[in-house]
Structure 1
Amino acid sequence: MNAAIPDLTRKVAVVTGATGGMGQIIAADLIHAGAHVVTIARNPARADALRARIGPQAANRLDVILGDLSQRKDVVTAAKTIRDHHDRIHILINNAGAHFSEHRVSADGIEMHIALDYLAAYGLTTLLDVPLRRGHARVVNVASDTLNDTRQIKLAGRPRPATLELAGIDDLAELNPASGFAPFEAYARAKLMTVTAGYALARNLAADGVTVNALHPGIVATDIIDDLVPPLLRPMRTLIRRTLLTPAEGAKSATRIATDPAMAGVTGRYFNRDKESSTPPVSHDATTQQRLLALSLTHFAG
C-alpha cells in the first residue's frame, strides 16, 4: 500500500482522465491503497496501458467504461453504469481535461473546452449525486491556475483573470464562440466554470457529508503542456518540461485532498498544490453560480 495514502479497502473511487500521465498515477495509487477504481476511457489501448501499470494482482480492482466524456450521452451512460454497480462512491476525482489549439465543438454543439473540461465534471458530480451522498464522498476537481491569469507570458503587467459573463446567455453553446476565439482564455474559462459550479455544489452536498474542492496541481509535464506553450517558446519545449513538476508530484496533491484524514470536512476550497488559494470574484458571485448551475442542468436534461 502507498504509505502516503490511508487504507482504502472497500472504498470506491471514480477517476476520470485515468489513462493520461497524472491520471494513471492517481488511479494506480488509489488501487494500490486498496480502493476499487472506476474510470471512463475513450481509447481502449490506453486503458490497457493503465491495466499494465496496475499489474495483474490488482486488475480486479479496476473497471473501465468506454466512453467520450465530451459527449452528453456518454457521460449520462457512464454515470448510470456506475450507479448500477455501486451504491456508494467514496472518492470522485474529476481529472479529465484537454487544451484545444483551434475552435472545436462537441457532438452536442458545445465548445470542446467547456464540454470536456467543465461539463464532464459537472455531469458526473450531479448524476452520481445519490451514491456520492451515501458514501460521504470527497469530490476533487482538477482545475488550473490559468483561471487567475490568462496571460501565457507573464513577464510584466498585472494578472488577467478569466471572465465568465452569463447575463443574456441562454445556452452553454453560446460560450467560447468561434468569433474571436482565444484558446488559452477558453481553457481558463472552462476551469473557472468548474470552480464556480463547485462552490455551489459544495454547499448543496454538505448536509450529507460530501466535500467538493478544486485543485491546481502545479504546472505538470503532461501532454496538455505542449499545447499551452506559446509559439515563440515551442522550440524550447523539451527544456521547459524538465523544469516542471512530474506527473507523480501533481498526482500527490490530488490524492492528498481525496484521502488525507486531515482534509475531512474541508469543502468549498481551491488549492494551488497544497496551499489554499483564491479565485476570481465572479466565481463567488451567487447569481453567477446559480445561473451556471441552471444552464448546466438544462444541458443534461436536453
Structure 2
Amino acid sequence: MPFTTTIITGATSGIGKETALALAKKEHAVYMLVRNIQKGEELRQYIISTTKNKHIYVIECDLADLESVRNAAGVLKSSLLGINILINNAGGIFAQRQESKNGNEMTFAVNHLGHFVLVQCLLPLLERGHARVINVSSEAHRMAKLNFKDINWLKRPYSAWYAYGTAKLFNIYFTRSLAVKYGSKGISAFALHPGLVNTSFGTDITGWGKWFLWLARPFMITPEAGAQTTIYLATATRIDAKSGKYFKNKRPAKTSSLATDEVKRNQLWDISMNLAGPFLV
C-alpha cells in the first residue's frame, strides 16, 4: 500500500500532470481534484498504465465554485483518515475580467480563494497527516497591484497580468500564514516558482502580454522541468524548518518586499476568511 497520501489540484495538464505522474511513480496515493471529470479519468488510466500504481483517484472540483470545493473536501473527508501532501497547483490568467459563480473576480477565485476554502475544509485531515501544503506561486508576484478595497477589480481598469501577479502574491501570503497559524499543529507550507513553463498558459492573452509570451517561448522549459520544485517539496526530507518559505529551483529564494508585509498578509487572511465563511459551516 502507498505510504503517502497526496492531493493535487489542476492535474490534467502542464506541470500538474507531470507532478501527478512523478508522485505516482514514487508510490503516492494520488487524489486529483479536477474540473473536467473526463480528462481526469483519461489521465487516471494513463497514470495507472504507466506506473502500475492503482491508487490514483479523481474527484470533481471546480475552484471557481466554492460549493464544489466544499463538496470535494467532503468526499475526501469521507474517504481518508489523513492527508500528507496537498498541492495547490491549479491556476489561470484571464484576458478579460470574469466572475466566479460566487461573484468574485476569476483570477482571485481560481488562484487563491478556492484553495483557501479547500485548505480550511481539510484542516482536520491535514493536521492528522502532518501535511505539507505546497502552493504554486510565480515570479509574477512582483507585478502585484494590491488594493484590498477593490480586490475584485470593479473600480479600476482590469489588467490580466496585474490581477495574476496579485493572485500569485496572495499565494505567498497564504503560505506564510499557514506556516505561522498551523505550524504548531504539524502543518508546514511552501510556495514556489515553477519557472517559465511552455504550456497552454495565457493563450488567450492579448496586447503586450501576448507578444511577451511569444518572445519568451524559445526560452521556456518543459512541463516536466517545471514540475521539479513541486516534486522536490513533496518528497524531500528534513525541510520542515523552511516552512513558510518561497522556493525557486529547489532552493529558498527572496520574494518582493511587498510579499514580506505582515500587516497586508493578515488583511488577506481576514478578507479570505470572511468570503469563505458561508462554505465552512
With normalisation by structure 1, the TM-score equals 0.85
2:58 maps to what in 1?
64
Residue 43 in 1 paired to residue 36 in 2?
yes
Correspondences of 1:108-257 after superposition (within 5 Å): 108-148=102-142, 150=143, 162-166=144-148, 169=149, 174-177=151-154, 179-227=156-204, 231=208, 234=211, 237=214, 240-257=216-233
Does the alignment pair 1:293 with 2:275? no
Structure 2 CA distance, aligned partners of 1:242 and 1:283?
Answer: 30
Q: Distance in 2 between matches of 1:91 and 1:232?
A: 34
SS at match of 2:242: coil
Bigger shift: 97-106 or 195-204? 195-204
Distance 2:42 2:62 in 1: 18
1:162-216 C-alpha deviation (Å, 9 max, x unpaired):
13233xx3xxx74322640011000110111121122111111111221101000
- 1:4-46 Cα offsets, whole Å, 9 max, x none, are xxxx932110000001121111111111211111121111221
Is the 1:15–1:95 Cα contact (8 Å) retained in structure 2? yes
* Shift, 1:87, TM fit: 1.6
Aligned letter for 1:214? A
Which whole-Å CA distance do the structure 1 matches of 2:137 and 2:114 have between them? 13
Deviation at 1:225, TM superposition (A): 4.3
Gaps of 5+ in 1: 1-7, 151-161
Residue 3 (structure 2) pairs with residue 26 (structure 1):
no
Question: Is contact 1:121–1:194 with CA below 8 Å preserved after alignment?
Answer: no
When normalised by structure 2's length, the TM-score is 0.90
**Secondary structure of the corresponding residue to residue 215 of structure 1:** strand
Q: Paired residue for 2:47, among 43, 49, 54?
A: 54
1: distance between equivalents of 2:9 and 2:67?
16
Q: Percent identity?
A: 29
What is the CA deviation profile of residues 49-108 of structure 1, one whole-angstrom value per residue up to 9, with x for unaligned ones? 312330346463111111311111011111111111112100011000011000000011
Q: Give the secondary-structure state (helix, strand or coil) at the position aligned to 1:55.
A: helix
In structure 1, what is the Cα distance between the partners aligned to 2:216 and 2:267? 39
Q: CA deviation at 1:224?
A: 0.9
Aligned CA RMSD, in angstroms, stands at 2.2
**Are 1:283 and 2:239 an aligned pair?**
no
What one-letter code is carried by the residue in structure 1 that aligns with 2:145? T
Alignment match, 1:101: 95
The structure-2 alpha-carbon separation of the partners of 1:202 and 1:229, relative to structure 1 and needing over 3 Å to count, comes to farther
Distance in structure 2 (CA, Å) of the matches to 1:81 and 1:261: 29
2:131/2:187 contact within 8 Å kept: yes
- Say whether residues 1:86 and 2:80 are aligned partners: yes
After superposition, the Cα gap between the structure-2 partners of 1:42 and 1:286, relative to the gap in structure 1 and judged at 3 Å, is same
Distance 1:232 1:217 in 2: 19
